[in-house]
Each structure stands twice: as structure tokens, then as C-alpha cells.
Structure 1
Amino acid sequence: MLVFSAVFFGIIALLIIYVIVTYNGLVSLKHNTAKAWSNIDVLLKQRHDELPKLVEVCKQYMQFEQTTLEKVIQARAGIASAQEHGDIKALGAAETQLRQGLSGLFAVAEAYPELKANQSFQQLQQRITALENDIAFRREFYNESANQNNIRIEQFPDLIIARLSNFQAFDLLEFSETETQDVDVESLFNA
């Protein structure tokens, strides 16, 4: 009888330890994913603050390229709206629109030697390019964190604890095939 009680309480203790470790692991994944999203948010805010400066410098030289500048401005507004609403799918679309707009802006800038030589333009272009690279890295990190969270809350037996504790899956930041295609720089020069 004593052996049976010891085995019974040992199994209960192991089960409690398993639940605690699993729950803490799920909490850690949830917070790492939220942190990854916050890191993207910070970089988007920095880029959001830099874009008006770039557009203003370009306006001084590119009086006839208003549509190119307007695309960048509209994409910037779309990103701000998606961030405000926490809409990851809309953010992906707006990000792609902005990336294409910036590629177009930098390509069109090639036709303006004074603009290309402008130190402010060069610094802003380098800063925005660096931010774009950082954002791409953070997107990848966010998607990895979200994917780890989503896998863990669907695996048995962790899914039991996840469902009892109401852990939710995170949306991945995805882009459609058309959004990930290379920008046709030649068409930008002919536009």
C-alpha cells in the first residue's frame, strides 16, 4: 500500500511539473512573438518618420514625378493604418506597396543628377535602405516566433494546456506572389 501511494503521488507530482513547464514554455513563446512584433513596430515607426524627409528632399528636384511621390505617401498611410488596426495581412500588402514605391522613387532619382548628388538625399536613401533591411530581418524573426508558437499550441499534449489556458495562434506576415516579384526597373524609367 505504501509503494502504491508513493507511485501515485510521484505520478501526480510529475504531471504537475509537466503542466507547469509546458505552461511556462507557452507563455514564453507568446511573449517572444509579441516582442518580435513590437520590434517590427519600432522600425516601421522610424521609417515612417524618415519618409517625409525623403519625400520633401525629392520634391525640391522632382517637380514632374508627382505620381511616384504620391505612391510612397499613400503606402506610408496604408502602413500606419494597418499598424493602428493590428492587421498583419494589410500590413504585408502596404509594405510591398511601399517597397515598390521606394524602388520606383530611387530609380526615378537616377534621372536627376542634382538630386543624386544631394547629401541629404544620399543620407536619407542610405538610412531608409538600412531600415528596409532591418525590417526584413525582423519580419523573418517575427514569422519564426509566430510559427514556433503556432506549432507548439497545436502539438499534443501541449494543445490541451494551450486550449485550457486560451493561448491563440499568431498570424504570419505573408506576401502574395505578385507582391514578392522583383520590381521592373526598366518600366519605371519608361513610365
Structure 2
Amino acid sequence: MDGLVVALVLIAVVVAAVGGWAVATDNGFARQRRLLGEAWGQIDVELRRRRDLVPRLAAMITADLPSAEEPARECERCAAWAGATVADPAEQARRENDLTAALGRLLAAAATSSRLSGAEAFARLHAELTDVEDHIAAGRRFYNAHARQLNARLESFPAGLVARLSGIRPAAYFAAEDPAVRAAPAAAFEDPQLRRGR
């Protein structure tokens, strides 16, 4: 009888330990997903800021360069498309990459205007866009670091087993696919006045 009690106690201890570990592991995944959500929230704020700059930038450039109307309209279309609700960061990244490329073409057109290059209002607006791009890049690194940690943990055993049982899926990365696209808005318009203002 004593052997049976000892065996039952040992089984209860093992079950409690495994159950406690599973709950702690699930809580760890919940914490990682919350951090991922917070990181995405910061990126989303900066993406909205960038999209809000597009109409002002397009209006300023086309006022001086009527030939830039098509790149300006393309920027506005891309900004509207990027602003549509998307649940998947990978799809959002594709849309934002399209906007980044369109902004690069618009700013390349603006670089041909000597009046814009000397306009203080344009310099301020471009500096604001560059600042937003820097914040987006920093947010992307932060978000992707959390996504990488979560995904690595999902692939590990036995934590990955708990994640599968809880229905936790890998996080999508938010990345600019083409380094030239990523640098386009900041590099398309280089002016000594802008460099002094940074």
C-alpha cells in the first residue's frame, strides 16, 4: 500500500511539474506575442505619419513641377493602398515597399528643380520624411527581433509542442525587400541645405 501511495505522489508531482512548465511556457509565448504587438503598433504609427506626409509632399512638388504629376498621383495611390487595413505584416511590407519606391521616384523628380532645392518649406518636409523613414527602420529592426525570438522558440522542443497545442503561429517579418527601395526616399534628394539641417 505504501508503494502505491509513493507512486501516486510521484505521478502527481510529475504531472504538476509538467503542467506548471506548460503554463509557464504558454505565458512566455503570450508575453512575446504582446511585445510583438507593441512593436508593430510603433511601426504602424510611423507608417501613418509617412502616409500623412504624401499629400503635402506631392502638392508641393507638383506646384513647382507639373511634370511630376504622374509620380505624385502614383505616390497618393500607393499611400491609399498601404493605408488600407491589412492583418499580415508581410503584406503590409509589400505595400509599404511600393510606397517607398513611388516616393523615391517622386523625390528624384523633385531633385531636378532648382527652386525646390532652395525652398526652406520643402527642406523641412523632406527632413520630416527622412526622420519618419529612420523611425520606420528602427521599428522594423525592433519588431523583426521580437519576431525572430518568437519564431526560434516555436521551433525549439519542447516549447514548440506547447505552442502548437495552443495554436500559436510563427510571426511574419516586416522587411524591406530591396535595399535600393529602402534607401530611395532619403537618398533621392540630396541638398547641402538638407545635410546642414540634419
TM above 0.5, yes or no, is: yes
Gaps of 5+ in 1: none
- 2:58, 2:109 → 1: CA distance? 13
Aligned-residue Cα RMSD (Å) equals: 2.6
Aligned length: 183
Q: Could you tell me whether the CA contact under 8 Å between 2:88 and 2:172 is conserved in 1?
A: no
Q: Match for 1:74 among 46, 57, 77? A: 77
| 2:176 matches 1:180 | no
1:64 partner SS: helix
Task: Name which of structure 1's ranges 160-169 and 33-42 shifts more when overlaid on structure 2.
Answer: 160-169
Q: Which one of 37, 40, 52 corresponds to residue 34 of structure 1?
A: 37
What is the deviation of 1:44? 0.8
Q: Quick check: 1:123 aligned with 2:87?
A: no
Matches within 5 A, 1:165-176: 165-176=166-177
Percent identity between the two aligned chains = 25
State the match for 2:114 in structure 1.
113
Q: What's 1:146 paired with?
A: 147
Structure-to-structure mapping, 1:94-105, within 5 angstroms:
94-105=95-106
Aligned residue for 2:172, secondary structure, equals: coil
Residue number in structure 1 paired with 2:93 = 92
Amino acid corresponding to residue 34 of structure 1 in structure 2: G
Consecutive unaligned residues of structure 2, counting only runs of 5 or more, are 189-198
> Cα–Cα, structure 1 residues 181 and 46, in superposed 2: closer, same or farther, change >3 Å?
closer
Q: Identify the residue that residue 15 of structure 1 maps to in structure 2.
A: 18
CA shift at 1:130, angstroms? 0.7
In 2, distance between residues paired with 1:74 and 1:16? 52
Residues 90/165 of structure 1: CA separation in 2 closer, same or farther (3 Å cut): closer
| 1:53 matched residue in structure 2 | 56
CA offset digits 1:122-144 (Å, max 9, x no partner): 11101111101111111122122
Distance 2:21 2:149 in 1: 19
Q: Contact conserved, 1:43 with 1:134, CA < 8 A, in 2?
A: yes
Cα distance in structure 1, aligned partners of 2:111 and 2:180? 22
The two structures have a TM-score, normalised by structure 2, of: 0.79
TM-score, normalised to structure 1, is 0.82
Task: Give the AA of the match of 1:15.
Answer: V
1:78·1:91 contact (CA, 8 Å) conserved in 2? no
Contact 2:86 2:92 in 1 (8 A): no
